Structures are given as C-alpha cells and as structure tokens.
Amino acid sequence: MKTQLSVLTALVTFALSTQVSATEDNGIHNMLANGEVHGMLRYRYENVDQSGIAEQAHASTLLTRINYTTATLKGVSALLEFDNVTEIGNDNYNSTVNGHTDHPVVADPKGTEVNQASLQFKNKELHVVAGRQRINLDDQRFVGGVAWRQNEQTFDGYRVVYKPSESLKFDYSYVFNVNRIFGEDSNKSDLHGKLHFANAAYQVNKQFNVSVFAYLYDFDAALASSTQTMGVRATGQLSDSLSYTLSYATQQDYADNPNSFDADYILAELKGKVSKLGWKVGYELLGSDNNIGFSTPLATGHKFQGFADKFLATPGNGLADLYFGVNGQLADIKLSATYHFFDSDAQSIDYGQELDLTAAYALSSNCNVLFKYAMYNADDYATDTDKVWLMLTHKF
C-alpha cells in the first residue's frame, strides 16, 4: 500500500512539473492557492438479524471524508481525498476484520486511507486521469464504486475519456489495482491485476441511447474471477412517462482462469408514472454454464438483487431476479418499495423473495436522512435475514 501511494504521489508531482515551465511558478502557486476543499460526514446505524447466527449485528459508524482539488492550470488539476471510518460505541458486528464471527457481517471496518489521489487533464474533448480514482460506468452493474459502504471502492490506474461530439463518447481505463471495501487490515483489501474497461456510448436522439462495452479482468491471485465480458446496453423513452432499459452481455473465462464457461447476462426493465406514483418492473438474469454463474466482482452490487446483499456473488446455478417496485412522495419524504422473486437459471431452484423499503428526507440542500429496510425470506438459498439502516449525511 505505501509503495503504491509513493508511486502515485511521484506520478502526480512529476506530471505536474512537466506541464509547466520554470517561469510559471506563480501559476502553480495560484493553482494550489485557489484550490477547493470539500468533505462529507456520514453517520450510519445498521442492524442485521440473520437466521443461523446467534447474535444480531449493531454497527454504528461514522465516515469522514476530506478532499482537496487544485485549480486548473493549462487544463491540469490534481485531487487528493482521505477517508476515515470510525466506530461509534461498541463494534457489535462482524466487520470482516475484527474477528466477531458470531455476529452477521457489516462490511464497514474502521480505518483511514487515501480514497483518491490523481492528476487530471481536461479540455473540451479529452479527459485523462492518472492515479487512484473513482470509476462508475453506466449504471455500475459491471464497474462501480460501491459507494453505499463506508469504505468506497476505488481504482489505481489510468483513464481516458474522449468525447468528439455531444452525442458520442469513448471511455477506456487500464487498472492495475482495485482498492476494495474491506479496508487496509484485510487480506481482501486489494485486487491486483491487469484490467481493461472499454465503453463507448452514442446518443442516437433524445429518446434513444446505446452503449457497447468490453471488460477484461486478468487478476494476479483471484484467478477464478478472471473473465472477459462483452455486451450492449440501450435506454430510451417510449413516451413522456414511460422508459426502458435493455442490456445483454456474454462472459467467458479469461487469462489464467482454471475454469471453462460461457454465460449470458440479460436485463429488461420498464419504468413508468401514473399521476405522482412511479412504478417499475424488471427481469435480470445472470446465467450459468458448467456450474459457474455470471460474475460481476467490480460492480456496485448493493444496487441490484436486493438490499440484503444475498447475491453479491452469483450462485453456481445462476440467478434470475423478477422485481416490481413503486415510488412516490408523502409531504417531503421520498418513499420506495421493491419486491424481488429470486430463482436459479439452471435446475429450477426457488431461492427466495425479498422486500426492500426506503424513506429519504432532505433536511437542507447539503444534509439528508435515509431509512432503509430489507427482509429476505429464504426458500432454497441462504437464510432469512432482516436489515435496518438509519443514515445521516452532511456534505460541505
């Protein structure tokens, strides 16, 4: 970790020095002096009651985030961001590193680390980022920051975004390390490898957008997660109150993966609105081949297949998720409810069902409160689980 940070710091310093001449010292001074500091405080209480585990989890944690972004000089700027996760009260939960295995997992270990450290160059058409950075592609189904957890997932590498017109964008990243959510004290803290994220998006018109993507993962140690995924995603408007999302991808073993498989991914979702009530219905399939399920190890998994997080790793028989949801507003409180039916792709296994509820209220433009609840009823996969969250977020 220290070696990686030293390399990134040296990269930022060297690259910045090569962008300006010695006669522009005043410009560098203004670049640093006119930078901006921002931050976030996020307190969260999470309770987990999981069948088969004797104790309940009671996780009370505070995320403190501070970042500094320099002003821009000849298109160049730098970003440095630190995160600290602190336990408030007793650590009556399994953080994955504290040894409390008699409690359910709440993957929010305490600790301090560099969340981002990058140098950027940006003009009208080109955006280049080098260093530790946040990468969220499309809806984060394949590549995302897992920002729901207190310790965000970020990526060490290089990213180039080229946008030759308002309707066309090319996005490519080479990543050599993934800083995962488990913290620096975990043996699962980092995923090293040679990773390629390629995404091209085109807006055909205001009612139709399409993107194609290729994600190649060659991990140094997590060999079974080394995969090649290629696909297409389309979003559009059927009317002012009706929209859709369609996606298809295929995934094969890649690099030194010891397994051999070829699995498919399918998403079809329809969203609409009746008066002030929103609704959605969708079907998502992560297929199976040779008893290996379609995997998304770098996704923001909490957004998909239920808040209870029972399916962050796809079962060997795959996963089919049929879901229905509604959302609306009562006074100034935003409400939503979603119900999932989980089944396998192979062997016709009824995994279970889940109900997810949220209520969000904005105390001000920079401060909000969120309540979430998840109830997973197991049939033939995992165990019954109830989760409750109460979160207060303030940005400054």
pLDDT digits (tens, 9 = 90+) for 122-181: 999 999 999 999 999 999 999 999 999 999 999 999 999 999 999 999 999 999 999 999
Lowest mean pLDDT among 9-13, 20-24, 51-55, 215-219: 20-24
Return the number of other C-beta atoms located less than 10 Å from residue 258's C-beta: 8
- For the chain, state the CA radius of gyration: 22
Q: Where are the beta strands (DSSP E) in the chain?
A: 36-50, 57-69, 76-87, 111-122, 126-133, 154-165, 168-179, 190-205, 208-219, 227-239, 242-253, 262-274, 277-286, 288-289, 292-293, 319-330, 333-343, 350-362, 367-378, 385-395
| pLDDT for position 26 | 76
Average pLDDT value over all residues in the chain: 94
The Cα angle at residue 261 between residues 260 and 267, in degrees rounded to 5: 160
Burial class from Cβ neighbours inside 10 Å (0-12, 13-18, 19+) for residue 36 reads exposed
Pairing of β 190-205 and β 227-239? unpaired
pLDDT average, residue stretch 308-335: 98
| pTM (global) more than 0.75 | yes
Query: pLDDT higher for 19 or 375?
Result: 375
